[in-house]
């Protein structure tokens, strides 16, 4: 049994929160550069150049890339031969988020509940998804989820008869409806399968994929490419000012589902696509 002390988890989460908000994902910056080569609109290219410059300025000044420093969504893969010592695992994750958001001068954007809406003051609680896996490692993947783009996300319970064609139309429709509102060009996470709630979680998890890295499943990779092309023909463009790049990537996660269901969830992420992972 390998022991990992909660203090290490606190320190790790603290640093992940700060770094993820200040240094945007390298695959995001690479995607800006690819988009810049393809974008036809002059204004669109200028927007992409501003995003690239913003990434440099944020890193240099050590201030957040975007003022919405988001919801801290944590995906944990916990090796079954790991023993967490010294306290509660979930408390340690939250303590790391609390310290990271306070000491990193990040915005505290979480309210205590949807109805009372009192700011918790430290961006906790984090959302924690834990998977127990073989081995003696602890993998922590942090996704910084902004709200503007989360607000345009959606889920539809298609029927098996409607199938993939309806699912594709739905995904394109969600991107079209998002229009200029949710900071395009988007990264589109798609979840297909499970019961209702599982589809949404898969869509969020799909956002962890490096942008533009095709799905290892060739048939899914083909669907991702087709969806990307259709979304990029919507004309919304960078910042919504019109252009040929409306999405930087489309990523799909699938799972088992019920014989009667074809759930499709679309989790939209803005161009400030942020996250970071670490293995302890």
Partner 1 sequence: MTVRETIYIETPLTGRALSVLHSGDQVQIFGVIYTARDAAHERMWKAIQQGQELPFDPKGQIIFYVGPTPPPPGRIIGSAGPTTASRMDPFTPMLIERGLKGMIGKGRRSEKVRQTAMAHGCVYFGSVEGTAALLSGCIQHAEVVAFEDLGPEAIYRLTVTGFPSIVVNDLHGRDLYEEGRHLYRRLRTG
Chain residues in the site for partner 1 (CB under 8 A): 40-43, 46-47, 50-51, 53-54, 57-58, 61-69, 105-109, 119, 121, 148, 151, 165, 169, 179-183, 230, 233-237, 239-244, 270-272
Q: Could you give the angle at the alpha carbon of 66 between the alpha carbons of 65 and 71, nearest 5°?
A: 115
Give me the least distance between CB of 200 and partner 1, in Å please. 21
Token readout for 71 is 């919801």
Token readout for 146 is 């902004």
Helix axes 42-61, 26-38, angle to 10 degrees: 160
Residue 78 or 126: the one with the smaller Cβ distance to partner 1 is 126
Pick the closest to residue 227 from 169, 166, 163, 154 (CA basis): 169
Residues 6+ apart with CB under 8 A from 208: 75, 141, 143, 275, 277
Give me the least distance between CB of 90 and partner 1, in Å please. 25
Pick the closest to residue 50 from 265, 241, 190 (CA basis): 241
Give me the least distance between CB of 65 and partner 1, in Å please. 6
Give me the least distance between CB of 177 and partner 1, in Å please. 11
**Which secondary structure element, helix H or strand E, spans residue 253, and what is its range?**
strand 247-254
Question: What is the widest separation between alpha-carbon atoms in the chain?
Answer: 58
Give me the least distance between CB of 168 and partner 1, in Å please. 9
Strands 71-79 and 138-145, by their bridges, are antiparallel
Residue 57 or 225: the one with the smaller Cβ distance to partner 1 is 57
Residue 6 or 58: the one with the smaller Cβ distance to partner 1 is 58
Residue 73 or 239: the one with the smaller Cβ distance to partner 1 is 239
Strands 138-145 and 247-254, by their bridges, are unpaired
Residue 100 or 194: the one with the smaller Cβ distance to partner 1 is 100
Residue 220 or 241: the one with the smaller Cβ distance to partner 1 is 241
Give me the least distance between CB of 60 and partner 1, in Å please. 9
Token readout for 236 is 């919304």
């Amino acid at each position: 049994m390998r022991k990992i002390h909660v203090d290490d988890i606190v320190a790790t989460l603290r640093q992940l929160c700060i770094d993820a908000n200040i240094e945007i994902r390298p695959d995001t910056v690479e995607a800006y550069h690819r988009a810049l080569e393809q974008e036809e609109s002059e204004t669109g290219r200028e927007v992409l150049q501003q995003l690239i410059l913003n990434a440099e300025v944020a890193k240099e000044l050590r201030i957040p890339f975007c003022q919405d420093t988001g919801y801290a969504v944590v995906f944990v893969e916990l090796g079954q031969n790991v023993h967490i010592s010294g306290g509660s695992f979930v408390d340690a994750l939250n303590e790391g988020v609390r310290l990271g958001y306070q000491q990193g001068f990040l915005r505290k954007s979480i309210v205590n509940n949807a109805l009372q809406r009192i700011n918790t003051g430290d961006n906790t609680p984090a959302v924690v998804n834990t998977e127990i896996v073989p081995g003696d490692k602890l993998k922590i993947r942090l996704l910084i989820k902004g709200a503007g783009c989360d607000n345009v996300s959606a889920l539809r319970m298609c029927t098996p008869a409607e199938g993939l064609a309806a699912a594709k139309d739905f995904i394109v429709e969600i991107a079209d409806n998002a229009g200029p509102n949710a900071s395009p060009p988007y990264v589109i996470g798609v979840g297909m399968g499970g019961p209702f709630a599982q589809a949404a979680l898969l869509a969020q998890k799909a956002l962890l994929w490096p942008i533009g890295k095709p799905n290892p499943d060739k048939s899914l990779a083909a669907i991702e490419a087709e969806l990307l092309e259709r979304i990029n023909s919507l004309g919304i463009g960078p910042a919504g000012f019109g252009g040929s790049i409306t999405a930087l990537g489309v990523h799909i996660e699938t799972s088992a589902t019920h014989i009667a269901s074809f759930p499709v969830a679309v989790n939209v992420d803005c161009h400030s696509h942020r996250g970071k992972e670490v293995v302890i």
